[in-house]
Amino acid sequence: MEEKSEIIYKAGNENESRVIIEDDDEIKTISKTTRVLSIYNKLLNGKRVNKSEEANNFGVNERTIQRDIDDIRKYLEYEYGNDGLVDEINYDYIDKGFYLEKIHKSKLSNSEILAICKILLDSRAFTHKEIKRLIDNIVSCCTIKSEEKIVKRLISNEQYHYIELQHKSEFLDTLWQAGKAINEMKYIEINYTRLKDKKEVKRVLKPAAIMFSEFYFYLAAFIDDEKTRKNFEVLDDKFPTIYRIDRIKRLKVLDKKFTMLYKDRFEEGEFRKRIQFMYGGKLQRIKFKYYGYSIEAVLDRLPTARILSEEDGVYTISAEVFGKGIEGWIRGQGENVEVLGNT
């Protein structure tokens, strides 16, 4: 029978931990495991952990105990609970010891979750099935369990009376495919049902951005095919074409990648300021007088709008917009808007 050897594990101070073990590698594993579990057990039982005392107890230095506490902290972060309870190790400067504190936390506050759910319901962008799945996942994953019923109760009536859009299409997978293609700068091929004549057309596109506006998600993409582009209103238009994602019947991500020089890079944020109505057409600058009561509503609707002058509550405004959608908005304002020029 092979004899076990006696190993003395020195820790850098006068105290020593004497262990009988078979090999040199295992002693460190057992010693650290015992130490960490002992410290964690004290914390769970509401006791204060003093680094100096623990260093003396285990025959190690204080830096080793600090590393043990840091390891426990990492474990607690990894084991963040779904019930919203978070165990945190804090330090008491009066008692000079570490202690465990249970704190109610969630990735989103209840008010934030409620706001997001309300926006989703008001958007009407999804089918009954999709909106139920989205809201259930958001509430169950982000809400403290004890308050989950309150959040659900606050949105239950609106969810019950939710009216989905007429297209009744589920398009989340298509949305994600388009997003990945944008990220990887890959061409896509789509089958798209046009709105004006209900004809299905095939397009090979360079996808540029995904946007949402008034019930619908849109894909902004560039067409390389000159044969297709020759029927466009602006042949050399530097702006992308807009496609409603729910009207994309098939989307295939191609292996072919495209490149774009930095100077030609599509600025989604700048484009978004100018295309408030998701209609095709050229970039134009419009000047008009506004006689209504809420200038804030106009400035919110048209992010590029600038007030040129104001006299007796009548504002002269200039705005840069993309496409023909602005025409419908102007008609909807009635006598409150007088167009002065369009270039």
**Which tens digit of pLDDT belongs to each residue from 89-136?**
889 888 889 998 876 555 677 888 889 999 999 999 999 999 999 998
Per-residue pLDDT tens over the stretch 297-323: 889 888 888 999 999 999 999 998 877
Q: Are 32 and 14 in contact (CB under 8 A)?
A: no
pLDDT (mean) for 165-185: 92
β-sheet with 283-290: strand ranges across: 306-311, 314-322, 283-290, 337-342
Task: Tell me the pLDDT band of 32, cut-offs 50, 70 and 90.
Answer: confident
Q: Are 278 and 242 in contact (CB under 8 A)?
A: yes
Q: What percent of the chain has pLDDT over 90?
A: 36
Per the document, the length of the chain is 343
Rounded Cα distance between 333 and 260, Å, is 40
Token pair listed for 332: 């909807």
Among 34-38, 75-79, 270-274, 326-330, the range with the most confident prediction by mean pLDDT is: 34-38
Q: pTM higher than 0.75 for the full model?
A: no
**Count helices and strands in the chain by DSSP H and E runs:** 11, 13
Per-residue confidence (pLDDT) for residue 127, from 0 to 100: 93
Question: Angle 51-58/62-78 helices, nearest 10 degrees?
Answer: 110
Does pLDDT of 7 surpass 80?
Answer: no
Q: Are 152 and 190 in contact (CB under 8 A)?
A: no
Q: Are 241 and 223 in contact (CB under 8 A)?
A: yes
Rounded Cα distance between 251 and 248, Å, is 7
Burial class (CB within 10 angstroms; exposed 0-12, middle 13-18, buried 19+) of 110: middle
Rounded Cα distance between 166 and 116, Å, is 23
Higher pLDDT, 263 or 115: 115
Higher pLDDT, 307 or 45: 307
Query: Closest by alpha carbon to 5, among 73, 131, 18?
Result: 18
Per-residue confidence (pLDDT) for residue 145, from 0 to 100: 67
b/e code 198-233 from CB counts within 10 Å (16+ = b) = eeeeebbbbbbbbbeeeebbbbbbbbeeeeeeeeee
Q: Are 293 and 222 in contact (CB under 8 A)?
A: no
Does pLDDT of 296 surpass 70?
Answer: yes
Amino acid residing at 44: L
Per-residue confidence (pLDDT) for residue 12, from 0 to 100: 41
Query: Closest by alpha carbon to 186, among 173, 205, 170, 199?
Result: 205
Does pLDDT of 235 surpass 70?
Answer: no
Q: Output phi, psi for 65, to 5 deg.
A: -65, -40
Q: Which residue has the tokens 């959608």?
A: 325
Higher pLDDT, 168 or 240: 168
Rounded Cα distance between 223 and 209, Å, is 14
Q: Which residue has the tokens 């594990």?
A: 9
Per-residue confidence (pLDDT) for residue 103, from 0 to 100: 64
